[in-house]
Amino acid sequence: MDKTQEIMEKVRRIELQARRLSTATFAGQYRSGFRGQGLDFDDFREYRPGDDPRFIDWKVTARTGTPYVKTFHEEREQVLLLAVDTSGSMDYAGEQSPDTKREYAARIAAVLSYSAAINGDKVGLLLFGQQPHFYLPPAKGVRQSQRIVREILTAPSHGRDDSVETVAAEILRTQRKRAMVFLISDFLTAPDKKAIGGLNFRHELIPVRICDPLELELPEAGCISFRDPETQELLVGDLADSALRTHHTQAVQAHRTEWERVFTQLGIDFLDLRTTEDYIPALRRMFNRRSRLFAH
């Protein structure tokens, strides 16, 4: 099987799994976890004590001689934007991982996009970690979901990590209408509170951090060489050296903790996933938290 056939077979398997999960178990939770992103004008009615005076319609009030206010109903249709990292580091997979980080991201994106399609929402895609970025405008339907999976898996993988500032600016430029933005990445770039805060102010942001367990803690082994997937730099290290392994673990954890601090300070709900674990329970817990929040 050549590379193209192998990729298309992965696309087909991911699509079939996503259809089953979103139809059988997930679409309802998706709907309960999100609310409409705006208000549509409904009708006029007479002003009542306690009504917000900002909604008084002065033209109708002048014509009738009685104060009237505008009433609104919540706009149900919403826009889901999947911003997915396809830089070189996302193509890593450790020995215990069935998927690369990019394939794992594609599975998550597939379930979310198919759930959006079932609920009649629009879904769009932004791929970063390559230049120029790839942008697929939001649209409805299963065909849009199918294309999203294909684009994630077939995008060039030689790119380096983009800064969060660059990605946030691209989202703000391309997505003018308020949207639910899933930012799916390994977040190996430097934390940027200002960029993340600005993006979350305009849209509703849910970061999804993906890592491979071997990235968190190096195995005890001998002298090995490995190539940086983004810079192509060849590195050599002796993993029998416990001090080296300890230094790596501490550095990785400090970087992850700094990102978590940014999300927590901004009040952003985020997912932290490993490629060896089932992502569905974590998605369900997140949607359940949101549905309880909106119920109050």
Counted residue by residue, the chain has a size of 296
Q: What pTM, to 2 d.p., does this model score? A: 0.79
11: helix, coil or strand? helix
pLDDT of 17 reads: 77
Closest to 84 (Cα-Cα) out of 148, 176, 7: 148
In sequence order, the 6+-apart residues with CB closer than 8 A to the CB of 197 are 266
Instruction: Provide the edge-to-edge strand list for the sheet that holds 271-274.
Output: 134-139, 122-128, 79-85, 180-185, 204-211, 271-274
Report yes or no: 126 and 134 within 8 Å, Cβ to Cβ. yes
Tokens of 66: 């009685």
Following DSSP, what letter does each residue of 239-292 receive, concatenated? TT-HHHHHHHHHHHHHHHHHHHHHHHHTT---EEEETTS-HHHHHHHHHHHHHH
Give the model confidence (pLDDT) of 236-277 as tens digits: 665 666 777 788 789 999 999 999 999 999 999 999 999 999
Give the model confidence (pLDDT) of 48-69 as tens digits: 877 777 778 888 888 888 888 8
Q: Spell out the per-residue pLDDT of the chain, length 296, in tens.
A: 566 667 678 777 887 777 777 766 665 666 656 654 455 556 788 888 777 777 788 888 888 888 888 876 555 568 999 999 999 899 989 888 899 999 999 999 999 998 888 888 999 999 998 778 999 999 999 999 999 999 999 998 766 788 999 999 999 999 988 899 999 999 999 999 999 999 999 999 999 999 999 888 776 666 665 665 556 666 666 566 677 778 878 999 999 999 999 999 999 999 999 999 999 889 888 888 876 665 54
Report yes or no: 178 and 146 within 8 Å, Cβ to Cβ. no
Q: pLDDT over 70 for what percent of the chain? A: 78
pLDDT of 231 reads: 60
Tokens of 226: 């490995």
pLDDT of 59 reads: 86
Go through the domains of the chain in sequence order and give each one's CATH number.
Answer: 3-35+76-295 (3.40.50.410), 38-75 (no CATH)
pLDDT of 293 reads: 63
212: helix, coil or strand? coil
Tokens of 47: 């002003």
pLDDT of 37 reads: 47
